[in-house]
Amino acid sequence: MSFQEKFVEADGFRIRYLEAGKGEPLVWFHGGGGLQLNKMHELLAEKRRVVAFECPGFGESPVNERTNSMAELAGTMGKAIAALAIDKFCVTGISFGGKLALWTAILNPEKVSAAVLFAPAAIRPPNTRPPTDPAQFRAMLFAHPERLPPMPPPNPELARKSIGFAMRIIGPDRDADMEARMKECKVPVLVLLGTEDSLIPTAMGRHYRELLPDCHVVMVYDAAHALDVERPEACAAVTDDFLTRQDKFVVSNERGVIFP
């Protein structure tokens, strides 16, 4: 499954996105480090039309000095989705993109069929900030870096720009406005948390359960913050099952017959 690079004009921005697959549209929002796809996205694209956006201010796009909040960015991205003539979609995202996905669900409940938030940075432990040291940052992303293929080091200038933008608009650890809106959000939400994630620890899942009317939390075992990179099959399977069956996904449909 190969993703095609495309661009869409929306809200005065030229927005890059990668697309693959056919079927129900699945929107993906990247984390604070920028857009980088992995095996999980390929697996999801086997059954769905995956549209992975690069938000304005990330990657090679110009510095984004205009957007000042996550809700505002969600408004821009909503326009980008509409510009692709996508009326109904599920929204997913990781970390920074998890918060963006949540805002997208809050702002577009009639269009969003369900949301999957991976290690969302929408609710964070007090004063949590990603480490600036690259080695510490990598240690925070992966529980088992030794199991992963070598990855090219990120372009330090682009990384600085992306992280700087993300940190400027991410909002407080506890965002009262957003949390008030969460209580009214009827969209079914699945929150995925890595059991080894030190940035967004598993205890954060409790807040989503308490605030969102229709929320499931699933722990992804032995994964740190980049849970989609570390456990792509596990993440893709539970995401696909939830998006297909929503609340019914708690009931197993695995066959138990070994030999008919």
Partner 1 sequence: MKAALFSPVAYHGNASPGWPVPADVYSQESAAHSFNTALDRFRLADEIGFDWVTVAEHHFSPFSLTPNPMLLAGALTQVVKKAKIAVLGPTLPMLNPVRVAEEFAMLDTITGGRVVAGLMRGTPNEYVTYNVNPEESRSRFQEGLHLLRMAWTEPQPFGWQGRHYEFRAISVWPRPVQKPHPPIYMSGSSPESGEFAAKNHVGLGFAVTTLPLATKAAAHYRTHAEAAGWKPTADDVIYRCAIHVADSDEQAQADMANMPPQRRFSISNPALEQAVAGTSYYGRDFEAQRNRVGRPGAIRDAVENGQILLGSPETVMKQIKRIRDDIGAGILDLIFMHPEDDKARRAIEIFGAKMLPRLHEME
Binding-site size for partner 1 (CB under 8 A) equals: 23
Cβ at position 236, least distance to partner 1 in Å:
10
In angstroms, the CA 246 to CA 201 distance is: 24
> Using CB under 8 A, which of 82, 198, 219, 244 touches partner 1?
219
Q: Point out which span in 90-98, 104-112, 149-157, 209-217 binds partner 1 (CB under 8 A).
A: 209-217
Cβ at position 200, least distance to partner 1 in Å:
14
The CA angle 223-51-10, to the nearest 5 degrees, is 125
Binding of partner 1 at residue 144 (CB under 8 A)?
no
> Using CB under 8 A, which of 45, 220, 226, 229 touches partner 1?
220
> 208 pairs with which residues across the strands?
none
Residue-by-residue DSSP string for 55-66: -TTSTTSPP--S
In angstroms, the CA 172 to CA 185 distance is: 20
> Tokens 């992963």 correspond to what residue?
148
How many other C-beta atoms can be found within 10 angstroms of the C-beta atom of residue 215? Answer: 20
Closer of 135 and 258 to partner 1 (Cβ): 258
Binding of partner 1 at residue 87 (CB under 8 A)?
no
In angstroms, the CA 259 to CA 109 distance is: 45
Binding site for partner 1 (CB under 8 A): 192, 195, 202, 205-206, 209-210, 216-222, 231, 234-235, 237-238, 249-252
